[in-house]
């Protein structure tokens, strides 16, 4: 089995849409949006997300088939960090360290931008994701979470 992780461009909008909608259907508890909110987004909106200089989206392909997604964006407020968002790996592809490769891709983007850290929020009760993030070097931090019961985590972009 071959795993590749690629940064998506505007021309990859259908891959982003497919992965994002699959993620929202499979794990709605893990995201701040809903399938219903995103399924009717126009092609232009998906392309704009991918073409923004303030964000990056990465897709993991398992033998050429989209199997995972992660994004990063530059938070407002002058933080020296990139926010990791939209992390998801399809159930059929789990257990192959795809999440770790996606985290590494976002961290690499952060390094390329000169950002010292990667930060994220994990939803309450999403213990599997939290363990993955801990394996990737994330530690809980004192930041106030955006969602009730959520946990903010951070790690160096190294």
Q: What are 74-101's pLDDT values in tens digits?
A: 998 767 999 999 999 999 999 999 999 9
CA distances from 132 to 57, 95, 101, 110, 156 (A): 19, 10, 11, 19, 16
The confidence band for 141, taking pLDDT boundaries of 50, 70 and 90, is very high
- The answer as to CATH 3.40.630.30 being correct for domain 3-156 is yes
The structural domains of the chain, with segments of one domain joined by +, span 3-156
Question: What pLDDT is attached to residue 87?
Answer: 97
pLDDT at 144 over 90: no
Cβ atoms 120, 85 nearer than 8 A: yes
Cβ atoms 152, 144 nearer than 8 A: yes
Q: What digits encode the pLDDT tens for the residues 54-81?
A: 999 999 999 999 999 999 999 987 679 9
Question: What pLDDT is attached to residue 79?
Answer: 79
Question: What pLDDT is attached to residue 158?
Answer: 82
Q: What digits encode the pLDDT tens for the residues 19-63?
A: 999 999 999 999 989 999 999 999 999 999 999 999 999 999 999
Average pLDDT of 4-23? 98
């Amino acid at each position: 089995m071959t795993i590749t992780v690629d940064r998506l461009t505007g021309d990859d909008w259908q891959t982003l849409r497919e992965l994002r909608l699959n993620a929202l259907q499979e794990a709605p508890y893990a995201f701040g949006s809903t399938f219903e909110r995103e399924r009717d987004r126009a092609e232009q909106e998906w392309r704009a997300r991918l073409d923004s200089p303030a964000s990056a989206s990465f897709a993991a392909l398992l033998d050429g088939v989209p199997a995972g997604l992660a994004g990063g964006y530059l938070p407002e407020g002058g933080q020296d960090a990139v926010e990791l968002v939209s992390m998801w790996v399809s159930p059929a592809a789990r257990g192959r360290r795809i999440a770790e490769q996606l985290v590494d891709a976002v961290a690499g983007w952060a390094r390329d931008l000169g950002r010292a850290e990667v930060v994220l929020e994990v939803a309450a009760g999403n213990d599997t994701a939290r363990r993955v993030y801990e394996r990737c070097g994330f530690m809980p931090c004192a930041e106030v979470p955006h969602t009730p019961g959520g946990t903010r985590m951070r790690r160096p972009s190294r």
